[in-house]
Amino acid sequence: MKRQISCSEYQGAFIEALARGPGSELSADVSAHLALCSECRATSLDLEAGWDAFRDLQPVEPPQALRERTRGAVLALMSEERASASRRRWLDGVQVPLAVGSARAGEQRPIWDLGSTLGRLPRVVAPTASDRPARP
């Protein structure tokens, strides 16, 4: 025997059929429910009219100035983010060599502690008077 659908199942199928557009067919069990349930039958006619009433709503579009302002606001954010990412990449590029230099010194020191690292580098010393060749 064929299962009969409930009013609640009918309602779900009916609202889906309305969204599919006029003339969309109801399945056999939905049609069978409609034939048997006078309440759903009466309501469905009203609801079809209610669905059609939306046709009279005036079309609305965002004003051009609002469109431009909104698009511009997002694009400005994107551009800001790109600039900030580029600054971060530059800083990363600077920090890595410094960090490597620090690691070579064999110490766990913050990368900004450059003074002691630089202190271990060979000093460039200005020639003293004794280094200079004697004047003729």
Q: Which residues bind another protein (CB under 8 A)?
A: 8, 11-12, 14-16, 18-19, 43, 45-54, 56-63, 66-67, 69-71, 73-75, 77-78, 81-82
Burial code (b: 16+ CB inside 10 Å, e: under 16) for 39-54 equals ebeeebeeeeeeeeee
- Least separation in angstroms between residue 35's CB and another protein is 19
Judged by CB, which is closer to another protein: 74, or 121?
A: 74
Question: At closest approach, how far in Å is the CB of 113 from another protein?
Answer: 35
Q: How far is the CB of 18 from another protein (least distance, A)?
A: 8
The length of the chain is: 136
Q: Would you say 51 or 100 has its CB closer to another protein?
A: 51
Query: Which residue number, 6 or 116, has a Cβ lying nearer to another protein?
Result: 6
Q: Among all chains, which residue has been given the structure tokens 């309602």?
A: 11
Distances (CA, A) of 88 to 46, 60, 84: 62, 43, 6
3-state secondary structure of 4: coil
Shortest separation between residue 28's beta carbon and another protein, angstroms? 19
Residue closer to another protein, measured from CB, 27 or 70: 70
Residue in the block written with tokens 């469109």: 67
Token pair in block for residue 108: 């766990």
